[in-house]
Amino acid sequence: MAPMIVDDDSKPKSLETLLKDLKVDTDDAPTLYPSVNQDELNKKTAQYLFNYGTTFNTDIIVGSKGLYVYTASGRKVLDWTSGQMSCLLGHGHPEIVSIIASHAAQLDHLFSGMISPPVISLAERLCTLLPDGLDKAFFLSTGGESNEAAIKMAKVFTGNFEIVGVGGSWHGVTAQALGAQYHFGRKGQGPLMPGMHMLPPPSAYRTIFKKPDGTHDWETELDYGWQMIDHASCGSLAACIVECIQSSAGMHVLPTGYLAALKRHCEKRGMLLIVDEAQTGIGRCGDLVAINHEGVVPDILTLSKTLGNGLPLSAVVTSNEIARVCHERDYCFYTTHVNDPLPAAVGDKVLEIVVRDNLVAHTRAAGEVLHAGLRQLQARYGCIGDVRGRGLMAGVEIVADRETKEPATEVAKRVGERAYQLGVWANLSSHPSFGGSFRIAPPITITEAQLREGLAMLDEAFASTEGTMPLYI
């Protein structure tokens, strides 16, 4: 096992010590908003902020630093979701802060046809680190935008228009990305993009496709899905888009061999394979990019979230041949912030730090600690039906009964609220499409002590919440 980042005192602390540590010291807390009225701000939130599809947390966050966020009520909370799964190196990383400050002052935003050194450096560093066949890149702002660009690229290159997605997927809220997304957000807006098809969700925990021994028969499931698509297709299949770990669906990992089989299905039909690594990329899963885990090279790779460490930055990377043909066919994805220098400089620095500090190996080692701790919780509480993930991405699914796998969303909600009170934030996905699953993805700079402290708080949250079905006396 590779050496892990450790604190000076890496021994697990008692819960009492832990809670005392989570009281904000004046020397420790950020001072950007030192004094705010939380009740007044919540009233203004209700009055002025449009609800875009979420429930706003009543705690107003006034600061972030390292692995923690700070509340107006005077608490610090261990951030086990890296913001929106994005702050790969933690909040306020000093080298990232320095890059932002220097480029904000001297090289921030340019005309979209102008190219700057950080954009060239990021493209070179990224393409050099990726497998052959991922040779040319350009940079946008969000994951949805990069997936939109990738889908359009596939359509221009193939001359076809039908796109295959996977059940449980999340690719963004722009038109084509949303059309290929089968988790949430499709309703209430009339017809979506034409020519969109869905493969069955590859969820080993809840699948109806099983071998005689009860294990997931993903090969039959995948073949069946393609048979249905072949029946439905009008003969214009362009691409299939997939995530290596379906985070929004509850952290479902593609079965071993699935991605390679998916590529063979695409090649058989003259389609491109697009892999969306918004959350899995840049070391999160114990490989620099998740496609490295099985050595599968897609035709187009999209990155976002982790690449910008919380800043809006995404990438579309493809082969020399696809880039050549698309250029000849007048491919256009010209946006206000394409190849902006400031976020590109941040992305370049993120890659430099991840490689320089050997954070991929650290993530593998830290992931072993995280998953071992979560499996230990599963052995202690009957409400934990499944623990899954890879590296520093983990899902914990809460059920009312392990045999029937009936979701226990109210229990999950109470556990999540209790964990937050104790000082650790783990996002609870409570949408009916995946029951109640905690999504855990802390910054990959997390220390072993911080992992064990978070696990201790989760343990206390389960122990002190009614309905968790303890399996010990």
**Positions marked catalytic:** 170, 243, 276, 279, 305, 439
Q: Identify the helix (H) or strand (E) that includes residue 279.
A: none
Place of tokens 């899905």: 225
- Distance CA(89)–CA(362), nearest Å, equals 12
Taking residue 102's Cβ as centre, other Cβ atoms within 10 Å add up to 12
Per the CB < 8 A criterion, the answer to whether 414 and 465 are in contact is yes
CA 441 vs. chain centroid, Å, equals 8
- Distance CA(431)–CA(249), nearest Å, equals 9
The sheet with strand 427-429 has its strands ordered as 384-390, 393-398, 436-440, 427-429
- Distance CA(304)–CA(141), nearest Å, equals 8
Nearest Cα neighbor of 72 from 51, 86, 57 is: 57
- Distance CA(420)–CA(437), nearest Å, equals 15
13 backbone dihedrals φ, ψ, rounded to 5°:
-100, 160
Per the CB < 8 A criterion, the answer to whether 197 and 229 are in contact is yes
Per the CB < 8 A criterion, the answer to whether 377 and 177 are in contact is no
The dihedral built from the CA positions of residue 395, 418, 472 and 370, taken in this order, carries a sign that is: positive
Nearest Cα neighbor of 272 from 250, 306, 320, 239 is: 239
- Distance CA(318)–CA(151), nearest Å, equals 12
- Distance CA(397)–CA(405), nearest Å, equals 9
